[in-house]
Amino acid sequence: MTLTRVTRRTSLALLMTLHLTTGCASSDPLPVPDAGDEDAGVVTPDVSVTPDVREEPDVREEEDMGPPLICAAGFADCDDDGNVVRCSEDRTQYLTEACSGGKECRAGECLDPIICQQGERSCVSATQYEECRPGGTAFRVVACENDDSCIDGVCVSGERNGGECAADGDCAGGLCHCGAGTDDACAAKWTRAYCSAECTTSTDCAGDEICVAGDVHQIESAAANVNHCVKGCQGSCAIDGLSCKWLPAYDGVGALTFEQGCYFDAAAEVGGECQTDTDCVGGVCLKDYFNTSYCTSPCGAQGCPDNAACVQLGGSEYYCSLLCGDGSVGGTDRCPLEPTVADERIDVSCKLATTIEGPAKRVCVNPSKQ
């Protein structure tokens, strides 16, 4: 019996110590061994029950991201209207900028326009050529060395266009027009012979030259009827032995027009007297309109020289006829064919005539045939 009491006392002391160390983990009272139960032994408290802890919901404020990003940083391009389109710094919009100052949009930048291909050359005078700079936005002018001549954008040795010659080999351009040592076989009046180069349009000639329509002014020799470059002029020619004439010429796109150039002294312009068609730069000697034969040119698409107008002369055909003064309706100037009263002719008068373009102008006509 003594051992049993000690055992019970020991168990009770252990239970009380456990209760004090676990604190208030549970509000339920700890079980106490029944004093009458000698076999109960030590009772282990139930510590599996946890406190009722409620979790708070995870509530976060939604972050303000701002406007959406619609373009890449640094983006730049050109639109269909030639404006620069850039991405704004905050990448939320496209910004448009118009190019000014003659610039154009390329690769998202306003740049000088491309006007030529790098290395492209053309003659600007008898002794200079212009060459396209790198990038194609400008030209530089280069002078030929050793007194060479510029032909088709290349400096070559030989006599310049307009220079006197006898054979093709004398000329930088390889053409001696009506030279005695050529196959041209021109009549004696077509002197003096001059150096030239063949052309199709004025772009084949130097910038201060024109492309004469040799197929319009056809001189006696078929070999000489070639389109060729001659020095341009304004009223007078600076080359000895040649005169400034209104000549049929091909412009930069190949259209036939009239321009002034240095040419044979003997060549008759519109209004000049003639015997045959070959006398006239315009290719026609009109023999049955005025009392004297009259150099002219069929007109329409190619027009006439600045001192003439395209009108009907005594029929349905349109020809170039000299203007009286500036051709204005209220003008009083005389016809150049009778510049003074002493030169007055009964077959010549100034009269209003309807031009092929429409407006009437005062031109030289035969009053008996208009």
**CA-CA distance, 154 to 160, in Å (whole number)?**
12
pLDDT of residue 219: 85
**CA-CA distance, 201 to 78, in Å (whole number)?**
36
| Beta carbons of 296 and 286 less than 8 angstroms apart | yes
**CA-CA distance, 218 to 40, in Å (whole number)?**
147
The answer for residues whose C-beta is within 8 angstroms of residue 352's C-beta and 6 or more apart is 329, 360, 361, 362
Q: 44: number of CA atoms within 13 Å, CB side?
A: 3
Provide the residue-wise pLDDT of the chain in tens; the chain has 370 residues. 333 443 444 443 443 443 444 444 444 454 544 544 544 445 555 555 555 556 666 656 666 677 899 999 999 999 999 999 999 999 999 999 999 998 999 999 999 999 899 889 988 888 899 999 988 888 999 999 988 988 888 999 999 999 999 999 999 999 999 999 999 989 889 989 999 999 999 999 998 999 999 989 988 788 889 999 999 999 999 999 999 999 999 999 999 999 999 999 999 999 999 999 999 999 999 999 999 999 999 998 788 999 999 999 988 899 999 999 999 999 999 999 998 888 889 999 999 999 998 899 999 999 998 8
**Residue located via tokens 């203007």:** 323
**CA-CA distance, 136 to 152, in Å (whole number)?**
19
Would you tell me how many other CB atoms lie within 10 Å of the CB of residue 26? 14
Which DSSP letter does residue 112 get? Answer: P
pLDDT of residue 314: 80
